[in-house]
Structure 1
Amino acid sequence: MIPLSFFNNFWLIQNLMVILSLNFMFMVSFSYFSGISLFLGFDFMSYLLILLSFWLGFLMLMASEKINKVKDFNNLFTLLLLMLILFLVLTFSSMNMFVFYLFFEASLIPTMIIILGWGYQPERIQAGVYLFFYTMMASLPLLLFIFYFYSKYFSLDFIFMNKNFNNLILYFMMNMVFFVKLPMFLVHLWLPKAHVEAPVAGSMILAGVMLKLGSYGLLRFMILFKEIGMKFNFILLNLSLMGGLLVSFLCIRQSDMKSLIAYSSVVHMGLMFSGLLTLNYWGMVGSLMMMIAHGLCSSGLFVLVNIYYERFFSRSLYINKGLMNIIPSLSLWWFLFVSSNMAAPPSLNLLSEIMLINSLISYSSLNMIFLAFISFFSAVYSLYLYSYSQHGKHYFGIYSFSSINLREYLILFLH
């Protein structure tokens, strides 16, 4: 597909991505490890995330029709998307620490170019710098840790990762980059910036897959720190739960719809991260499911905001009001995605959140306080987003708009 991106074949590439996703769906095997080659192979966790990458890949192409229409360097855009998906698939299917690190870092570059090249505001440069330096500064210690691991055990394969590093400095060297990628509260500042400045495809891949790189890395590498994890994880766990609560408060006062969704994904990742840190089975399975659920749900919400942005040229909640009067056929989709975002049944978010709540309460019943508040306030800001954008008196500066077409319904349905 990469040579095809030089020949203005936007829809051909997208259809090939669909075929690739369906092809990969049939490769599911419930064995422990499958598809092993020299240093690549996938188990069930990697399989789900690679499938998510392929799936969001063609949805990104579908959502970015405007780039193809106005010929805004569309060849370069498709090339970057294909490179990004290639890097992500190689990251998730890697079975060697250094190869994992290499593609983990390489996936940063196309994302940053997409934000810098197709973003909307001049502040996208600052957003790109934030994204780049937060991740780079935190990931250089990981490289040193990998060298240290190799000098100690003479192998970087995941199969030999049953060692035990009972050392706080090594713990932070290894995991800091994943905390930034998640993003953990206090190192989350790059995320809202990057989301607000990114084009819709950038937001979709950031929310859908890039945040999952961090949690995937933790699920893989936390086995090295079982002992110190039992002593130290509770600090990060409480920090994340408290941060989730504070960011929920921050969500309620956003006027930019994209910013609100970006902050709400920080809340979700805080819950997921704290469930992962309990190191029990409920938490692990729940966090994996939360990764998949949040990837699809958040990405769909960004698509919805972008549909409005392409019509009304604004993402402000003060202008996008009463849209049930203007575009009634999108209200159902808004309702479905917003209710999934606040973990209402029958969404996958609810199932994963129940698992995470179980794991956190079995860890300590005091977590109940934070969890109750986070669940309540995530319902509050989700309903705030829905009621403000759909109900009320619509803004009369909006004169005309084009109706929703089949492509956009298809994107939402596939999410």
Structure 2
Amino acid sequence: MVAKAANTGIIAGIIVAHEKKNFKGVRFAVRQRGLAMLKTLLLLPLLGAVLLTLLPGRSVDLMRYLASAVAAATALCAFLLLANFDSTSAEIQFFDTRPWNPRVGSNLALGVDGISLPMVLLATLLCFVAIVSSTGIRSGARLYFSLLLVLETALLIVFTARDWSLFYVCWELTLIPLFFLIDRLGGANRHRAALNFVLYTLGGSVFMLIALLLLYDVAPGHSFAMADMAAGGAQLPVNTQVLIFLGLLLGFGVKMPIVPLHGWLPLAHVEAPSPISILLSGILLKMGAYGLIRAAATLPGAVQALQDWLALLALISLIYGAVLAWRQTDLKAMIAYSSVSHMGVVLLGIAALNQAGLSGALTQMVAHGLVAGLLFLLIGLLYERTHSRELAAYGSLNRIAPRFAVFIVFTLLASVGLPGTAGFIAELQVLVGAYSRWHGWMAVLSIGVLISAAYALRAIRCLSTGPERPVAGVPAGAGLATFVDLKRSETAAAGLLTTGVVILGFYPAPLLRLMASSVASLAQQFTH
């Protein structure tokens, strides 16, 4: 009997060991597959940019088709990466590191977690939409599409970098393609807009670099690895952490932007080509918010000490941006200032430092990326047809361009946070998270929402009601009668973003589940 029991135990042990071995093998295979997908994701846009240089200069449509195919393949890689991602783990997944400059402790370290992966998905989706909607680009097409693909690579590396030196280099690298895209293909004041954008961002980056160097000096391993610098930063006295965090706040605050660091945004949005405005508002602003979240994880003492001040900045940005948007008659300028207000909601969620607030901030980043991208897409198509962005120039679009009218009305309502859209889920989470800290002060958030509703409803009234008005670019006496409704490709691009807004509004569970473990781990740092 004893011998039989012993044999049974041995067999059971062998089975358990075999199952553990198989489980480790499966996990290793998934990790390797995800790592290969991550590398492919980053290299595809660069490869596409190289291929574009080999095409004949007159093949503009071929260039757009190739760039669109590359962007679609990159987005597919991002969603395959999502399929291999374990949302129950807060650890950095698909991590890989290679020495870059061992003498100074910098590495090509890459990986994703539940905070960075939603940004990767958003970036690939918006880059695809921006390229597909670039039908009006004829002159300088090779340079335009090549720079867009280079910009996509830089964006993706920023969101997947696990080394601050790599993060900083690619953060600065995004300036080069954006400068030329605005300066070469923008509006009448494009030179001033491009210069303002670069000077503002470089000015903030100087403070960011100084802060990173101070963190590097106290890192235990004397490296730029995010984990190493976070370990060093957490050991610093709170006053020292605050000074370093303020440097990072200036750098990231310019890109978000936070009032009063927002001066570059309206001019850049108005003068940039509409596909570039999709990326500026849809994903470039999220780089600042993403960096601020990483800075909070690196210097938890500082962000807790400055919690109330960050909330004050958020509320100022929220109200100030909404009021300025309400005063605009130029549609692009209105959306640009509304972005300042919506990023104030993101900052408020970050300042709450709890799971509801941080989850709401990330959800708002995704929701605003989709909604703002859709708004700039539609306004860009409107401008291509009429050469006007003035609200007073339009009327009764619902009769002459019903598809366009449906999309623009839905998107403007979604920007207010209408229930059933992604913005409602985001703002509700931020409100819950912030209320637990500041209670009645959250009435200010409600005021911002009311002002947003005011300018959104005004825009709907001007665009969809009233008499048809003569518009520049339309034959005299014809009014808007010759206005062409959305084409199939344009409807598909707008429909793609609209689908994302609606799905996240009615069924946000997959996104929330994707972020939950990483957000909970981050929020736990601020509970001690």
Q: Gapped runs of 5+ residues in structure 2?
A: 1-47, 98-108, 498-528
How big is the shift at 1:338? 1.1
CA contact (8 A) 1:321 1:394 kept: yes
> In structure 2, the residue corresponding to 1:37 is in which secondary structure?
strand
Residue 151 in 1 paired to residue 205 in 2? no
Cα distance per residue 1:281-304 (max 9 Å; x no partner): 111111111111100110100011
CA apart distance, 1:228: 2.8
Q: 1:401 to 1:169 in 2, by over 3 A?
A: same
Tell me what 1:75 maps to: 142
Which of these residues, 175, 179, 186, is aligned with residue 260 of structure 2? Answer: 186
| 1:3 Cα offset (Å) | 2.1
Q: Residue in 2 aligned with 1:409?
A: 491
Moved more, 271-280 or 146-155: 146-155
Determine if contact 1:242/1:370 at 8 Å carries over to the other structure.
Answer: no
The question of 1:120 aligning with 2:187 is answered: yes
Counterpart amino acid of residue 141 in structure 1 = F
Question: Is residue 2:427 matched to residue 1:345?
Answer: no
Cα deviation, residue 113, structure 1 = 1.1
The one-letter amino acid of 1:26's match is L
Alignment partner for residue 199 of structure 1, among 273, 279, 283?
273
Q: Secondary structure at the match of 1:40?
A: strand
Kindly indicate whether residue 400 of structure 2 is the aligned counterpart of residue 326 of structure 1.
yes
Partners of 1:152 and 1:226 lie apart in 2 by 15
User: What is the 5 A alignment of 1:67-146?
Assistant: 67=137, 71-121=138-188, 123-146=189-212
**1:388-399 to 2 correspondences below 5 Å:** 388-397=462-471, 398=474, 399=478
Taking the aligned partners of 2:290 and 2:430, their CA distance within structure 1 comes to 16
Deviates more, 1:258-267 or 1:397-406: 397-406
Q: Partners of 1:86 and 1:304 in 2: how far apart?
A: 25
| Deviation string, structure 1 residues 67-121 (Cα, Å, up to 9, x no partner) | 1xxx311000010000000101111110001110110111121112111111122
The 5 Å alignment of 1:4-403 reads 4-6=51-53, 7=55, 8=59, 9-28=63-82, 29-30=85-86, 31=89, 32-38=91-97, 39-67=109-137, 71-121=138-188, 123-153=189-219, 154-160=222-228, 161-162=230-231, 163-164=233-234, 165=236, 166=238, 167=240, 168-397=242-471, 398=474, 399=478, 400-403=482-485
Identity %: 28
Distance 1:149 1:128 in 2: 31
Q: Distance in 1 between matches of 2:118 and 2:442?
A: 30
1:337-391 Cα distance to aligned partner (Å, 9 max, x none): 1111000121111101100011111111132220120121111111111111111
Instruction: Give distance in 2, aligned partners of 1:228 and 1:114.
Output: 37
Q: Deviation of residue 148 (structure 1)? A: 2.0
Q: Which runs of 4+ in 1 moved over 6 A?
A: none
SS in 1 for 2:292: helix
Q: Which amino acid is 2:122 matched to?
A: L
Deviations 1:305-359 (A, max 9, x none): 1111011110111112222232122111112211110001211111011000111
TM-score, normalized by length of structure 1?
Answer: 0.96
Return the letter of the residue paired with 1:306: G
CA contact (8 A) 1:59 1:411 kept: yes
In 2, Cα distance between equivalents of 1:116 and 1:199 = 10
State the distance in 2 between where 1:103 and 1:243 align: 27
Q: Is the 8 A contact 2:67 2:149 kept in 1?
A: no
Instruction: Note the C-alpha offset of 1:233.
Output: 2.5
**d(CA) in 1 for partners of 2:276, 2:206:** 24
Q: Which whole-Å CA distance do the structure 2 matches of 1:252 and 1:100 have between them?
A: 36
The answer as to whether partners of 1:175 and 1:218 remain within 8 angstroms in 2 is yes
Question: What is the distance in 2 between the residues matched to 1:108 and 1:209?
Answer: 14
Amino acid at match of 1:12: L
Amino acid at match of 1:21: A
Provide the rounded CA distance (Å) in 2 between the counterparts of 1:236 and 1:281: 17
The RMSD of aligned alpha carbons is 1.4
| Residue identity in the other structure for 2:80 | F
Distance 2:390 2:321 in 1: 19
Structure 1 unaligned spans of 5+: none
CA contact (8 A) 2:248 2:292 kept: no
Rounded Cα–Cα distance in structure 2 between residues aligned with 1:295 and 1:366: 29
C-alpha contact 1:4 1:13 (8 A) present in aligned 2 = no
Between the aligned partners of 2:158 and 2:456, the Cα distance in structure 1 is 33
Deviation of 1:401 after TM superposition, in Å, equals 3.3
Displacement after TM superposition at 1:265 (Å): 0.8
SS of corresponding position for 1:27 = helix
